[in-house]
Amino acid sequence: MADLPSTVAGEKAHEITGDTAYGAAWGDPAIVLTCGVDEPTDFTETSTCVQADGVGWFVPDAVLLSDDDSLDVTMTAVGYRPRVQVFLPGDYRPEGFAAAAAEIGDVVGRDLEKVQSCK
């Protein structure tokens, strides 16, 4: 958690509250990272993943294949443990999606254990 960037998609980190110490947030509306999530129910071995700096992020097809850039994005680094999920409000799309995937992915790829590839 200490290695996470102080900004994501140009938004500054802020303190979070709740019952977990394994999360982070940036901006308002918040870009939210949660560690230790379950595998998404709609993820399969043939699911498409978006690659950013060597980290594969699963994004549900309903968002990935949509032309609507106002949709919120939930992306999950399914190939790493602990599994990391990032919620990106549609307000930050389209540029914020790529920025968040790369900036957070840098830490994921460096600090977490890769257990499988997500292509």
39 near 68, Cβ under 8 Å?
A: no
Cβ density class 24-43: b for 16+ within 10 Å, e for less: bbbbeebbbbbbebeebeeb
**CA–CA dist 24, 106 (Å, integer):** 15
Q: What is the pLDDT of residue 36?
A: 92
pTM assigned to the model: 0.91
Which sequence spans correspond to the domains of the chain? 35-114
Per-residue pLDDT of the chain (119 residues; tens, 9 = 90+): 889 999 999 999 988 877 666 789 999 999 999 999 999 999 988 888 999 888 999 999 999 889 998 999 999 999 999 999 999 999 999 889 999 999 999 999 999 999 988 87
Residues 16 and 33: beta-carbon distance below 8 Å: no
